[in-house]
Amino acid sequence: MEGTEEVSSNFQENVTSGVEEDPIENETFVAETKSVPIGASQSDDQRDVIVLDGIDFYNEYGRIKGFSIRRLKVGRCKKAGSEGDIIWQIFVCSRQGERDAKHVHRNDRKMDPRQVTRCGCNARIKVHVHSRNGRWYVDFFSDEHNHDMLEARFRGMMRSHRAIKMGDLHQINTMRSSGLRVSTIFRAFANQSGGFEMVGFQVKDIYNAIEKQKRAGASDTDNALKYLQMLKRRDPCIFWKYSLDEQWRLHNIFWCDGASQYDFNVFGDVMGFDTTYWRNKYKCPLVIFSGMDHHMRTVVFGCAVLSKEGEESYVWFLWAFLEAMKGKAPKSVITDGDQAMKSAIKAVFPEAHHRLCSWHLLRNATTRVGIPRFMTKFRLCLIGDLEVDD
């Protein structure tokens, strides 16, 4: 398949430790910076921790005071050997600056502008890295606000203070797995917290957290492939193959175990497969290759999940099926009559006889033929046990 990749199973000095007396809430805020030196031996994770400490330091102070914060500027080192290292950063009140006039006076606006929140507040803090010992210290601090502070009960709704804690995220995932909608989940949190303003996050934050989990490294795709790898320890004959699209996302996947390969080797002369199974949360068609054994019981020869239906996908998983069965092709293939499926069977199994499923034939006959006794005779012709004299 062009444009896809295939994979098979066979192959700082502690400068500031200060106490700020809050004049509004009479709360004491103790700020400590971690003594983690910045140098060539420092890992990227340690550097991220330092940057996050600077944000958390001022953000917690803003939560106590009643304002939200954002990062304004970041300075990076340009010296050889330390390129890209953060050496200073400035955090400001979220109401710092003014909205650009070109965004306020626009004649081509199709929607009402968002409420202006910036009022030129001068509150800010600048943290710097010491050039010798590599430790963080406060270089400049200003607490001059030109606006009122927010009441304590509304502070959790400010942007920099909205956050979904890990325990809340586990509860959200549990409620979603039970079939509850996001709006219902948010109302449940509001009842637990004593009001919507006390939840600490908004509905859109739940949607963002759900989307972030989908993009996380430990995705369902990774878990599915790890599960197949685990099954291979118990069943060395298990076979799977998958393809990736241009963005390295899972495109198609096929798998069959050792028992399925053995059943096909014995009972695989006649095979049927159907792509009408859509009842999964990804809305992707599930293909099941099946047949009948000598006791007239259904046996499964393999399964596949496709990103979409089409001749290209059908050709891919039929070739994967042929590879898993060591090149043995069925003599007859029964399908629902899809034209793309018919073309794929002709391309991969040119010697096989393509037949239509009797269930689809009976359904079509019931829909289109109105003769009273026709269905009884037609069913007898299709699936009846008849003996033909020589």
Q: What is the mean pLDDT of each run of 10 residues along the chain (390 residues)?
A: 63 36 34 34 43 70 86 85 82 86 75 81 88 80 88 78 85 89 91 83 88 70 84 91 84 92 93 72 82 91 88 91 93 85 90 83 80 80 69
* Integer angstrom CA distances of residue 126 from 58, 62, 139, 140, 153: 10, 15, 5, 5, 29
User: What pLDDT was estimated at residue 47?
Assistant: 42
User: What pLDDT was estimated at residue 31?
Assistant: 35
User: What residues pair up with 93 in beta bridges, in sequence order?
Assistant: 69
| Distance in angstroms (rounded) separating the CA atoms of residues 304 and 250 | 12
- Residues contacting residue 7 through CB under 8 Å, at least 6 positions apart: 241, 242, 243, 244
**16: closest CA among 33, 40, 41?**
33
**153: closest CA among 335, 289, 25?**
25
User: What pLDDT was estimated at residue 81?
Assistant: 72
User: What pLDDT was estimated at residue 27?
Assistant: 37
User: What pLDDT was estimated at residue 349?
Assistant: 93
User: What pLDDT was estimated at residue 1?
Assistant: 52
* Integer angstrom CA distances of residue 383 from 201, 270, 309, 379: 61, 15, 29, 6
Contact between 364 and 337 (Cβ < 8 Å): no
Contact between 111 and 95 (Cβ < 8 Å): no
| Distance in angstroms (rounded) separating the CA atoms of residues 37 and 52 | 15
User: What pLDDT was estimated at residue 51?
Assistant: 47
For the chain, the structural domain boundaries read: 12-161, 162-216, 220-356
User: What pLDDT was estimated at residue 164?
Assistant: 86
| CATH class label, 220-356 | alpha beta
HEC per residue, 247-306: CCCEEEEEEECHHHHHHHHHHCCEEEEEEEECCCCCCCCEEEEEEECCCCCEEEEEEEEE
| Main-chain phi, psi angles of 304, to 5 degrees | -150, 145
